[in-house]
Chain A
Amino acid sequence: MTQYSGKALVALILLAPVAALTADPSPGRSRDLVRMVRQDCGSCHGLTLKGGLGPPLLPETLREKPAESLRYTVLLGRPGTPMPPWNAFLTEAEADWIVRQLIAGFPEETR
Chain B
Amino acid sequence: MKFPTAILAALLLSACAAPALRGTGDLGIVIERAGGSVVVVDSSARAILGRVEGLGDLSHASAVYSRDGRYAYVFGRDGGLTKVDLLERRIARRIVQAGNSIGGAISQDGRLVASQNYEPGGVKVFDADTLELLADIPATFGDGSRRSKVVGLADVPGNQFAFALFEAGEIWVADLSKPREPKVTKFRNIGSQPYDGLVTPDGRHYIAGLFGEDGLALVDLWQPEQGARKILANYGKGQEKLPVFKMPHLRGWAVAGGRAYLPAIGRHEVLVVDTATWQEVGRIPVKGQPVFVMARPDGRQIWVNFAFPDYSHVQVIDTLEQKVVQTLSPGKAVLHMEFTPRGEHVWISARDDNRVVVYDTANFAKLAELPAQTPSGIFFTSRAARIGF
- Name A's B-contacting residues (CB within 8 A): 35, 38-40, 42-44, 46-48, 50-53, 77, 80, 82, 84-85, 88-89, 109
Contact = CB atoms under 8 A, between A and B. Distances in A.
Given A35-B352, A47-B34, A47-B59, A53 B149 contact: yes
Interface in B50-104: 57-60, 77-78, 100, 102
Give the secondary structure class of A's interface.
Answer: loop
Contact of A39 (B100, B102, B333): B333
A82 B247 contact: yes
B118 A47 contact: no
Interface residues of B, number: 29
Interface of B: 33-34, 57-60, 77-78, 100, 102, 118-119, 149, 166, 193, 195, 211-212, 243-247, 308-309, 333, 351-352, 374
B60 A52 contact: yes
A52 B118 CA distance: 7
Given A43-B247, A50-B77, A51-B118, 16 more contacts: A35-B352, A38-B34, A39-B352, A40-B245, A43-B60, A46-B100, A48-B78, A50-B78, A51-B119, A52-B102, A52-B118, A53-B102, A53-B195, A77-B243, A82-B211, A85-B243
Contact of B243 (A38, A44, A80, A84): A84
Contacts of A82: 193, 195, 211, 244, 247
A40 B333 CA distance: 9
A109 B77 CA distance: 18
A51 B244 contact: no
By CB atoms of chain B within 10 A, which of A35, A43, A84, A109 has the most? A43
8 contacts: A40-B245, A43-B247, A46-B77, A48-B78, A50-B100, A53-B118, A84-B245, A85-B243
A65 B384 CA distance: 46
A82 B248 CA distance: 12
B245 A47 contact: no
B34 A51 contact: no
